[in-house]
């Protein structure tokens, strides 16, 4: 017996949800996340507010869907790049390209928290997939030294190839890469490098190179 696939009603629901999210992104680009309004989106779609609430029960529910989509997109992007052979420097530019394609999407998950919004506990679980790819790119198996209290906070990211815990030194390297990269990206996307007459991509290259040098000499 073959799978009949989604019904016409399910396809219609998925289409409307996608349209709602698209209008939400447009609204965010125009006025920021705090100004997101389901009633305004409903008006643009030609439906009533109560009708739209059948697709997203609340503003926070819509924001959560957007956040999950953003995390899913970057997780799939870095995994595909890594599977294609990208090293740490390559991943840095893949992430930068992803962020520059849609700065509002980037800032929704890596920018200032949305006032009054409290994400469900599992919302950022997909982000762990991104860190797992970075850990894989940051080093080879080996002993990483003693555990510290700091490492306990990274427990969710520790899965290594084969299911073993990642070496401590690799965890630290991956986190250092993550913080350096996002420091540059946040400044670039916010326009703070405007007029400085240099390519932020070169700064990212230098940050990755500095990290590699510290790994060799450390």
Query: Residue 65: which pLDDT band, with cuts at 50, 70 and 90?
Result: very high
- Examine the domain organization and report whether 29 and 82 are in the same domain: no
E strands within 13-91?
none
Evaluate whether residue 65 is within a structural domain. Answer: no
> Within a 10 A sphere around the Cβ of 40, how many other Cβ atoms?
15
Q: What is the structure's pLDDT at 156?
A: 44
Evaluate whether residue 166 is within a structural domain. Answer: yes
Q: What is the mean pLDDT of the chain?
A: 82
Integer Cα distance of 209 and 186 in angstroms: 20
As a whole number, mean pLDDT of residues 63-72 equals: 94
Entry pTM: 0.81
Q: What domain count does the chain have?
A: 2
Evaluate whether residue 64 is within a structural domain. Answer: no
Structure tokens at 20: 């709602």
Half-sphere exposure of 26 (CA within 13 A, CB side): 11
Query: Residue 3: which pLDDT band, with cuts at 50, 70 and 90?
Result: low
- Examine the domain organization and report whether 101 and 2 are in the same domain: no
Q: What is the structure's pLDDT at 127?
A: 82
- Give the model confidence (pLDDT) of 174-211 as tens digits: 889 999 999 999 999 999 988 888 888 898 989 888 88
- Examine the domain organization and report whether 50 and 74 are in the same domain: no
Evaluate whether residue 146 is within a structural domain. Answer: yes
- Examine the domain organization and report whether 21 and 105 are in the same domain: no
CA-nearest of 21, 13, 124, 12 to 75 is 124
Q: What is the structure's pLDDT at 97?
A: 97
Q: What is the structure's pLDDT at 107?
A: 94
Integer Cα distance of 42 and 50 in angstroms: 9
Element (H, E) at 83: helix 59-83
Alpha-carbon distance values, 108 to 40, 66, 186 (Å): 20, 8, 12
- Give the model confidence (pLDDT) of 29-61 as tens digits: 888 888 889 999 999 999 988 899 999 999 999
Evaluate whether residue 156 is within a structural domain. Answer: yes
- Examine the domain organization and report whether 79 and 132 are in the same domain: yes
Q: What is the structure's pLDDT at 85?
A: 92
Contact between 70 and 95 (Cβ < 8 Å): no
Query: Residue 166: which pLDDT band, with cuts at 50, 70 and 90?
Result: low
Predicted confidence (pLDDT) at residue 155 exceeds the cutoff of 50: no
Q: What is the structure's pLDDT at 1?
A: 47
Q: What is the structure's pLDDT at 165?
A: 55
Evaluate whether residue 31 is within a structural domain. Answer: yes
Q: What is the structure's pLDDT at 215?
A: 60
Provide the Cα torsion 75, 77, 83, 86; round to 10°: -110
Q: What is the structure's pLDDT at 74?
A: 96
Q: 88-101 and 59-83 are packed helices; what angle lies between their axes, rounded to 10 degrees? A: 150
- Examine the domain organization and report whether 106 and 139 are in the same domain: yes
Burial 81-92 (b: 16+ CB within 10 A, else e): bbeeebebbbbb
Contact between 137 and 88 (Cβ < 8 Å): yes
* Domain range enclosing 193: 70-217
Q: Which CATH number characterizes residue 167's domain? A: 1.10.357.10
């Amino acid at each position: 017996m073959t799978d009949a696939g989604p019904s016409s009603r399910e396809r219609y629901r998925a289409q409307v949800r996608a349209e709602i999210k698209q209008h939400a992104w447009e609204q965010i680009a125009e006025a920021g996340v705090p100004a997101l309004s389901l009633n305004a989106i409903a008006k643009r779609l030609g439906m009533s507010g109560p009708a739209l609430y059948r697709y997203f029960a609340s503003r926070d529910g819509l924001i959560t869907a957007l956040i999950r989509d953003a995390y899913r997109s970057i997780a799939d992007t870095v995994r595909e790049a890594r599977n294609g052979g990208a090293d740490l420097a390559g991943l840095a530019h893949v992430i930068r390209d992803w962020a520059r394609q849609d700065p509002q999407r980037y800032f929704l998950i890596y920018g200032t928290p949305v006032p009054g919004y409290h994400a469900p506990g599992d919302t950022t679980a997909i982000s762990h997939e991104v860190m797992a790819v970075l850990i894989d790119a940051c080093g080879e198996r080996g002993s990483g030294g003693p555990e510290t209290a700091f490492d306990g906070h990274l427990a969710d990211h520790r899965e290594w190839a084969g299911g073993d815990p990642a070496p401590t030194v690799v965890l630290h390297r991956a986190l250092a890469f993550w913080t350096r990269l996002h420091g540059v990206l946040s400044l670039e996307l916010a326009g703070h490098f405007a007029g400085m007459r240099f390519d932020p991509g070169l700064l990212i290259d230098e940050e990755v190179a500095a990290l590699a040098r510290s790994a060799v000499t450390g």
